[in-house]
A and B are shown apart, each in its own frame.
Chain A
């Protein structure tokens, strides 16, 4: 059985280069400094960001920049079979370390020396592309928390069929067996790759193809994240700054 049918469509009706529908909500928790909820197809994730705050463990403190601490957990009801161990297994620790490295590359960590930022991700429903969806919801939560970043990190996954055709944003039925899968995260949907994870074996001629397809998919995801953040800050700031907008309208000059 192949991912793509003979008519060029996938099992859920998408073309190979199409991403799934993204639904979002920012500011879910009031007690967190930043929070976000994201649905990427049927993959549903909640994320909360705390910090910058003073770290409790003195040994981990860095003098020149802040520490990014990520935790990834799957809810027990998130998969088809009930998951006995929500966090702490090898895969969740691997995801957490990969997310830490990605966020460290994007966050301006030198603004907050001797401090720590915590990112907690909880997978509510599993339907493939978990790592990419976690990175997307983490960057939304960091933008909601007001943590300065070089750009929004957009992540997307990509699978490769045996004949070298790239399918982006794979779901759980496409994440099967020996299908090679690549997860790529870029800053602002451009060429700066901050996360790359490849599973299963892949021919080297196909690597460039799925890298390019994944990067294009991150550009699409970044447009969705950009719309999400813009909608949120307009709703949060726009109502109370109508007067300021009128007063400062003449001061704004844009040049490229």
Chain B
């Protein structure tokens, strides 16, 4: 195979294919300027923006303090949805409670916003991060139970436990599904209770206030 070697600067267009929007890692996209910023899938090096992912090139415009800025992104999937591979501070995750203790509940993180993770990550839900009331008034077993599916926000890293710190203080965060004593599903029936679909038994939970969910 006769290889056409770009020993000079790599351009975003593939040689011989016209102007293509597909880029591979290492392609030089644009020089860094006041109006151009590197977004997802790109990095800056020596005054230029390079692609760090293989995918399609996207550009959009944002306005920050009366100043228009273009952001360059490289996305692997089509459309506007973004794919996450691991949690980051500030994102909303879907987690399942594994076990509860005196001061915190251990969870496993399964989704980041709309993306299902390929691998689970550990999370810690501390007692003081469940409800916006005093710490002494919270009873952990009345907020979450093992087997619950919760929506939470990542607020940091637990330094000594190598886990993500989760928080359900906001109204929209909390339990969205639960498991009863017989293994049946329990659905939210109010802002503080879940109800079994089989026996109609009620248990207290910190329920997420999602309009479509609390019916």
Residues of A at the B interface (CB closer than 8 Å) are: 19, 21-22, 33, 50-54, 58, 61, 108, 112, 114-115, 143, 146, 148-152, 187-190, 216, 219-224, 226, 229-230, 232-234, 237, 240-241, 244-245, 248, 251-256
Contacts and interface: CB of A to CB of B under 8 A. Distances in A.
Main SS of the interface on chain B? loop
Nearest to B33: A255
B1 interface: yes
B133 interface: no
**Candidate in B19, B31, B54, B157 with the most chain A CB atoms within 10 angstroms:** B54
B162 A114 contact: yes
Given A108-B52, A151-B25, A237-B55, A223 B5 contact: yes
Given A58-B162, A112-B86, A219-B3, A151 B55 contact: no
B200 interface: no
B62 interface: no
**Candidate in B7, B41, B83, B120 with the most chain A CB atoms within 10 angstroms:** B7
A115 B73 CA distance: 24
Given A54-B120, A256-B9, 13 more contacts: A53-B121, A54-B122, A114-B157, A115-B86, A143-B24, A151-B25, A189-B5, A190-B7, A219-B7, A220-B3, A224-B3, A244-B79, A248-B58
B3 A223 contact: yes
A245 B53 contact: no
B85 A52 contact: yes
Given A21-B1, A189-B5, A233-B54, A150 B21 contact: no
Contacts of B5: 189, 216, 219-220, 222-223
B21 A252 contact: yes
Given A114-B157, A219-B7, A148 B118 contact: no
B161 to A, nearest CB: 10
6 contacts: A52-B86, A54-B120, A224-B3, A226-B24, A233-B22, A251-B60
B26 interface: yes
Interface string B155-166: 001000010000
Nearest to A228: B24
A237 B76 contact: yes
Contact of B26 (A58, A152, A219): A152
B13 A254 contact: yes
B4 interface: yes
Nearest to A244: B78
Given A53-B119, A54-B120, A230-B14, A255 B30 contact: yes
**Candidate in B3, B19, B53 with the most chain A CB atoms within 10 angstroms:** B3
Contacts of B52: 108, 148-150
Interface of B: 1, 3-7, 9-14, 19-22, 24-26, 28, 30-31, 41, 43, 45, 50, 52-60, 76-79, 83, 85-86, 118-122, 157, 162
Contacts of B4: 223
A112 to B, nearest CB: 6
The 8 closest A-B pairs by CB, nearest first: A151-B26, A241-B78, A53-B119, A148-B52, A188-B26, A223-B3, A220-B3, A219-B5
A237 to B, nearest CB: 6
Contacts of B54: 143, 146, 229-230, 232-233
A233 B58 CA distance: 15
B43 A150 contact: yes
A22 B1 contact: yes
A50 to B, nearest CB: 8
A205 to B, nearest CB: 24
Nearest to B9: A256
Contacts of B162: 54, 58, 61, 114
A237 B12 contact: no
Contacts of B60: 251
A254 B19 contact: yes
B86 A241 contact: no
A245 B55 CA distance: 13
Given A189-B7, A229-B54, A254-B11, A224 B24 contact: no
B59 A252 contact: yes
A255 B59 CA distance: 13
Contacts of B24: 143, 152, 226, 229-230, 233
A27 to B, nearest CB: 12
A152 B27 CA distance: 9
